[in-house]
Amino acid sequence: MSSPERDGPELIMEDGRPYRNPTEVKMSQIVLPCHANHRKELSVGQLLKWMDSTACLSAERHAGRPCVTASVDDIHFERTIDVGQVVNIKAKVNRAFNSSMEVGIVVSCEDLYTNSHWKVCQAFATFVARSSGNEKVYLKQLVPQTHREQVEYSVAAERRRMRLVHADIMTDLLNSTSFQSAVSEDICEGQDEEEVIPTERTRVESVELVLPPHANHQVNTFGGQIMAWMENVATIAASRLSNAHPTLRSIDMFHFRGPSQVGDRLILKAIVNNTFKNSMEVGVCAEAYHGEEPLRHINSAFMIFEVLDENGVPRSLPPIRPEPQDGERRYREAIARKKIRLDRKYIISCKHTEMPLSVPWDTSNQVYLSYNNVFALKMLAAKNKWVLSSKKNNVKLFTLEENQTLSVRVESEVKVPAARAFLLLSDHSRRCEWDKHYKQCELIVRVDDDDLIYRVVTPSVSEGGKVQDFILLASRRPPCDSGDPYVVALRSVSLPTHPATDEFNRGEVICAGFTIYEVSQSVCKINYFNQTNPGVLPYISTDIAGLSSSFCSTFLSCSQFLLENRTTRCVLSNVAL
Ligand code: COA
Ligand code: ADP
């Protein structure tokens, strides 16, 4: 079993001590019967409380002031934890933005008798630093020290982007006509009335009084405490549906909309929104009131439960009959959330080398595909085993061989301001002007200002063979902060409107693109990356083998293009910066 606690240090300080991230906070707890549920497993609510307080202390360590939980990304609980085992929680700030910070949390479990360790879950929470008045706090920036910290720092910016559009994705999917027609027929269709469970039976309402132990020293209720109360009512709703003790498998990304304080009464309401074959979605809503004040909406969360049989296999669950109006709406929304959850889980968390190359693109998964696109390029750029394989006219070619994949990186400096180079290189329809491999490049979908889908035609890889075409998602990101590079990421997607045809060989790009760093006001360093596959390897293998230097001539032609357009007003054909 892996041992998360025993990973060697990545960095040794000058005095010989192993480096420790200054924001890192660790908590270890032995699971006692009072922390456990009926199956003698640690209750997820208790775990959430420990995770939240560890993460909050890490955020406060960086901020030097009180912090509150703003949101928590999806959490998938891979394993349960038994009474007697030890839970180890590690939290550290990955990146500070303005007033908010992303905190990464890793939970592992330790069995004292067998001396084994295993990972239980990981989570990303956003904490916001509060001032004593109402003014916004501006946090000091974090300077990543180790390679791992640099990677987390870099992708935290992309995760933040995804989090902030979370609510819109759901609204867009629900409003899409294709989704509406797909689910409208679904409610209780063809179900045997005897087996159908009316959801009213699962409705729960419960009240909690917020006392000082539930709050921090600023009297704000801990987010983890609210999550624990929400988990409690959700578990009751799930048990009422299944007449069994359910297991919480995952919690969707959620946002604390407003604060709660000591003295608040919290009303927690839960109901089963929908059942899928082996799982159910329970929705929970938390509202607060104080004296005669009106109810304040604090949080809504959606939790997925399973009911395991004696062999640990999820049992099939009965269909439900939702209540008219709100119940039917929530039933449909649960289907939408399931789709979004699966997209997020598989597109975000899968390593790009393990997932199918051309993931079908659609509006509801585009945010995750863009995330995956930028994430993959940042991960490739962050690899530290690049080997210089040739150098010509200050253009360097590096290679990286890893897990049976070969990647190339071409690096050069150009006397063009970084922002200008970014503007020009992110307009792919102009790439034909400098890259002989781009015979044609047509914009086919403008997803938003920063994400565009192109169809690119490239020459045949063999003499007399078919020309190739690629459907490429291009995602561009200006720096989030000084020190960040400009990023232009490319990966293949598939589009039903542009299927492969007999006329062309459909090629696929796993991960490619540019990073552009500012060297000075007038000079930038450009890196071009390409993770090869059989479709693109023939274009570069002769270079890598030292048989040609077309990479150098392509890059020189790219530099020439950038220099020529250095000052002329460049009207981007499709992109507004
Ligand atoms: N996920 C992650 N971060 C979010 C977010 C979300 N869903 N919504 C807002 N934020 C971030 C913003 O990006 C911003 O970050 P930045 O300052 O680094 O740019 C920060 O929160 C503040 O945003 P702002 O627009 O100034 O305020 P807001 O009106 O959106 O309020 C909260 C955001 C989190 C402060 C507010 O919703 C709140 O007080 N929630 C309750 C927090 C709490 O008390 N939690 C404990 C349990 S009740
Ligand atoms: P909505 O009602 O629009 O679905 P809310 O944020 O109000 O969204 O509620 C979130 C979830 O909490 C709902 O999907 C539902 O599962 C549950 N919920 C909301 N109100 C109640 C209620 N009165 N009784 C039981 N459960 C509720």
Instruction: Of 11-15, 72-76, 89-93, give the lowest mean pLDDT range.
Output: 11-15
| Residues, the chain | 577
HEC sequence for 454-498: EEEEECCCCCCCCCEEEEEEEEEECCCCCCCCEEEEEEEEECCCC
Q: Is residue 241 one of the residues assigned to a domain?
A: yes
Q: Is residue 355 one of the residues assigned to a domain?
A: no
Cα dist from 235 to 75, 217, 222, 230, whole Å: 16, 30, 20, 9
273 and 330 share one domain: yes
Q: Is residue 158 one of the residues assigned to a domain?
A: no
Question: Which residue's alpha carbon is at the smallest distance from atom 30 of ligand 1?
Answer: 257
Q: Is the CB of residue 228 less than 8 Å from the CB of residue 46? A: yes
For residue 438, report the distance from its CA to the centre of ligand 1, in Å.
Answer: 44
Question: Which residue's alpha carbon is at the smallest distance from atom 12 of ligand 1?
Answer: 100
Q: Is residue 537 one of the residues assigned to a domain?
A: yes
Using the atom order of ligand 2, give the atom closest to the CA of residue 271: 26
Q: What are the residues whose beta carbons fall under 8 Å from the beta carbon of 178, sequence distance 6 or more?
A: none
Residue 539: pLDDT band (50, 70, 90) is low
492 and 532 share one domain: yes
For residue 329, report the distance from its CA to the centre of ligand 2, in Å.
Answer: 10
Residue where a domain stops, chosen among 88, 120, 144 = 144
Using the atom order of ligand 2, give the atom closest to the CA of residue 329: 4
384 and 518 share one domain: yes
Q: What percent of the chain has pLDDT over 90?
A: 63
Strand partners, 250: 76, 304
Q: Is residue 5 one of the residues assigned to a domain?
A: no
The C-alpha atoms of residue 75 and residue 54 are separated, in whole angstroms, by 16
Q: Which residue has the higher pLDDT, 103 or 405?
A: 103
Q: Which residue has the higher pLDDT, 107 or 170?
A: 107
Domain at 416, CATH number: 3.30.530.20
Residue 538: pLDDT band (50, 70, 90) is low
For residue 285, report the distance from its CA to the centre of ligand 2, in Å.
Answer: 5
322 C-beta closer than 6 A to ligand 2 = no
The C-alpha atoms of residue 343 and residue 334 are separated, in whole angstroms, by 14
**pLDDT average, residue stretch 279-303:** 96
Instruction: Record the tokens describing residue 103, joined without a space.
Output: 């905190």
Instruction: Record the tokens describing residue 294, joined without a space.
Output: 């009106």
**pLDDT average, residue stretch 452-481:** 88
Strand partners, 297: 287
Torsion angle of alpha carbons 129, 130, 131, 137, nearest 10°? 40
Residue 324's pLDDT is 93
194 and 341 share one domain: yes
Q: In this predicted model, what pLDDT tens digit does every residue of 148-200 receive, in sequence order?
A: 899 899 999 999 999 998 888 888 888 877 777 767 656 555 555 568 899 99
Q: Is residue 427 one of the residues assigned to a domain?
A: yes
In this structure, the strands spanning 468-477 and 505-506 are parallel
If one residue of 65, 128, 208, 367 were mutated to test the ligand 1 pocket, choosing by the most ligand atoms within 8 A of its CB, it would be 128
Q: In this predicted model, what pLDDT tens digit does every residue of 486-495 receive, in sequence order?
A: 999 999 998 9
Residue 533's pLDDT is 65
Residue 549's pLDDT is 63
275 and 398 share one domain: no
Residue 573's pLDDT is 45
For residue 361, pLDDT beyond 90: no
Residue 552's pLDDT is 77
Q: Is the CB of residue 87 less than 8 Å from the CB of residue 15? A: no
122 and 209 share one domain: no
Q: Is residue 155 one of the residues assigned to a domain?
A: no
For residue 548, pLDDT beyond 70: no
For residue 222, report the distance from its CA to the centre of ligand 1, in Å.
Answer: 15
Domain containing 394 equals: 373-564
Q: Which residue has the higher pLDDT, 576 or 341?
A: 341
Q: Is the CB of residue 181 less than 8 Å from the CB of residue 304? A: no
**Surface-to-core class of residue 561, CB atoms within 10 Å of its CB (0-12 exposed, 13-18 middle, 19+ buried):** buried
**3-class DSSP state for residue 349?**
helix
Domain at 73, CATH number: 3.10.129.10
Q: In this predicted model, what pLDDT tens digit does every residue of 27-57 receive, in sequence order?
A: 999 999 999 998 899 999 999 999 999 999 9
Q: Give the DSSP letter string of 165-219.
A: THHHHHHHHHH-HHHHHHHHTTTTTT--TTTPEEGGGG-EEEEEE--GGGB-TTS
Q: Which protein residues touch ligand 1 with a CB less than 6 Å away?
A: 68-71, 97-100, 126, 128, 136, 163-164, 220-221, 223, 226, 255-260, 298
For residue 5, pLDDT beyond 80: no
202 and 80 share one domain: no
For residue 185, report the distance from its CA to the centre of ligand 2, in Å.
Answer: 23
Q: How many domains does the chain have?
A: 3
Residue 509's pLDDT is 86
Q: In this predicted model, what pLDDT tens digit does every residue of 420-465 receive, in sequence order?
A: 999 999 999 999 999 888 889 999 999 989 999 999 998 886 767 7
218 and 310 share one domain: yes
Mean pLDDT (the chain) is 88
For residue 543, pLDDT beyond 80: no
Q: Is residue 358 one of the residues assigned to a domain?
A: no
Neighbours of 215 (CB within 10 A): 18
For residue 69, report the distance from its CA to the centre of ligand 1, in Å.
Answer: 8
Residue where a domain stops, chosen among 291, 316, 349 = 349
For residue 225, report the distance from its CA to the centre of ligand 1, in Å.
Answer: 18
Q: What percent of the chain has pLDDT over 70?
A: 89
| pTM for this prediction | 0.86
Q: Is the CB of residue 399 less than 8 Å from the CB of residue 406? A: yes
For residue 4, pLDDT beyond 50: no
In this structure, the strands spanning 359-360 and 486-494 are parallel
202 and 343 share one domain: yes
If one residue of 52, 72, 100 were mutated to test the ligand 1 pocket, choosing by the most ligand atoms within 8 A of its CB, it would be 100
For residue 340, report the distance from its CA to the centre of ligand 2, in Å.
Answer: 19
Q: Is the CB of residue 392 less than 8 Å from the CB of residue 446? A: no
Checking phi first, is residue 194 left (phi over 0); if not, alpha (psi -120 to 50) or beta?
alpha
Residue 193's pLDDT is 58
Residue 344: pLDDT band (50, 70, 90) is confident
For residue 576, pLDDT beyond 50: no
140 and 194 share one domain: no
Q: Which residue has the higher pLDDT, 221 or 176?
A: 221
Which one of the ligands is nearest to 301 CA?
A: 2
Q: Which residue has the higher pLDDT, 563 or 536?
A: 563
Beta-carbon-side half-sphere exposure of residue 514 (alpha carbons within 13 Å) = 27
411 and 309 share one domain: no
For residue 1, pLDDT beyond 50: no
Residue 392's pLDDT is 84
Question: Which residue's alpha carbon is at the smallest distance from atom 28 of ligand 1?
Answer: 257
302 and 395 share one domain: no
**pLDDT average, residue stretch 508-520:** 93
Residue 3: pLDDT band (50, 70, 90) is very low
Q: What are the residues whose beta carbons fall under 8 Å from the beta carbon of 468, sequence distance 6 or more?
A: 457, 458, 459, 460, 461, 504, 505, 506, 507, 535
Residue 327: pLDDT band (50, 70, 90) is very high
- Give CA 370 to chain center in angstroms: 10
